[in-house]
Amino acid sequence: MRVWIYARLSNDDDQEMNSLLNQQEICHGFAEQHGYTIVGQSSDDNVSGMKFNRRGLDELTAAVDADKIDAVIVKDLSRLGRHRTQTALFIDYLREHQVRVISATEGIDTFRDEDDLMIGVRGLMNDYYARDISKKIRAGYRQKQREGIVITPPFGYRKDRNTNTIELHPEASETVRIVYSLYLQDHGQKEIARRLNALGRKTPAQLRAEQCGREVCTASKTSDGSYVWTYASVKNILVEEAYTGVLINHRSETNGGMPLSFFLARRPDIGTVVGG
């Protein structure tokens, strides 16, 4: 039987027990034990199981559409996904293409009728786990916001992972200073964007992508894929209150159409990028 190995790791997973390497070793061992032929593998790192727009999953789907595989081996069903409905729909899609999902550690095969109940129970448990973790993470963020702790520093700063202190990002902070200097010289936002592009200054999206190893936010690019400054990206810097030493947290969530209270904190250490 031709099999594809798929692994996924998210932020809330045990980094040792559920590491991508550990998952792949378990699946490889399972395939070899049963005499299956491994024709490919893919993985997604630092991706929530509640999302199904994943690069590794797209590679798996391409193999299914090309009729290259008969089964997908995962360490457990939660690796495929934690969203109960989306996971069920994806399993149905695989069944329609005569591809089964085999869970190496749970002994589940989606082609066995007797496993349908267990698949449903596992789906409920995985979905509940993901939503419960999400609530706890949001509560933790909310408390940090109340305390005035910087979760994601504004452009021009970076957080030291060892000390959790905020420090200037040499390249980005210089770009912020250029933006304000040009603005004080009565240059418009479009002209500032043009000059930044001419100087080859890296955009916030570009620096974030370099830091994370992948794109994590929407980026403006030219037709050849180069990052580019725009009117909007310059405006975002000019209206950022954090550069005045005031940090405003929790201002985007709504509840029943009513905006929730935001948290304001004085952070003079952040306000140094413009004046310093």
Alpha-carbon distance of 235 to 24, in angstroms, equals: 45
Which of 37-51, 151-165, 178-192, 229-243 has the weakest average pLDDT? Answer: 151-165
Which whole number is the average pLDDT over 187-207? 93
Domain boundary among 104, 130, 156: 130
The letter for the amino acid at 157 is Y
Expressed in percent and rounded to 5, the helix, strand and coil fractions of the chain are 45, 15, 35
Dump pLDDT digits (tens) for 87-96: 888 888 998 9
pLDDT of 140 > 80? The answer is: no
Any domain includes 32 = yes
Q: What does the pLDDT read at residue 224?
A: 85
- Say which CATH number the domain at 32 has: 3.40.50.1390
Q: What does the pLDDT read at residue 10?
A: 81
C-alpha 83, offset from chain centre: 16
Residues 87 and 190 placed together within one structural domain of the fold: no
Any domain includes 43 = yes
Q: What does the pLDDT read at residue 4?
A: 96
Of residues 229 and 210, which shows the higher confidence score?
229
pLDDT of 258 > 50? The answer is: no
Residues 166 and 235 placed together within one structural domain of the fold: yes
Whether the model pTM is above 0.75? no
Which of 9-13, 57-61, 186-190, 252-256 has the weakest average pLDDT? Answer: 252-256
Cβ atoms of 262 and 252 within 8 Å: the answer is no
The secondary structure of residue 7, as a DSSP letter, is E
Mean pLDDT is highest, among 19-23, 50-54, 81-85, 264-268, for 19-23
Which is nearest to 196 in space by CA: 180, 219, 215? Answer: 180
Of the pLDDT bands very low, low, confident and very high (cuts 50, 70, 90), residue 220 is: confident
Of the pLDDT bands very low, low, confident and very high (cuts 50, 70, 90), residue 139 is: low
Q: What does the pLDDT read at residue 124?
A: 64
Any domain includes 141 = no
Which whole number is the average pLDDT over 115-134? 63
The letter for the amino acid at 146 is R
Any domain includes 191 = yes
Domain boundary among 130, 156, 189: 130
Residues 76 and 115 placed together within one structural domain of the fold: yes
Any domain includes 137 = no
Which residues neighbour 87 within 8 Å (Cβ) at sequence distance 6 or greater? 77, 80, 81, 123, 126
Of the pLDDT bands very low, low, confident and very high (cuts 50, 70, 90), residue 17 is: low
Alpha-carbon distance of 196 to 145, in angstroms, equals: 32
Structurally, how many domains does the chain consist of?
2
Residues 191 and 252 placed together within one structural domain of the fold: yes
Any domain includes 139 = no
Residues 151 and 266 placed together within one structural domain of the fold: yes
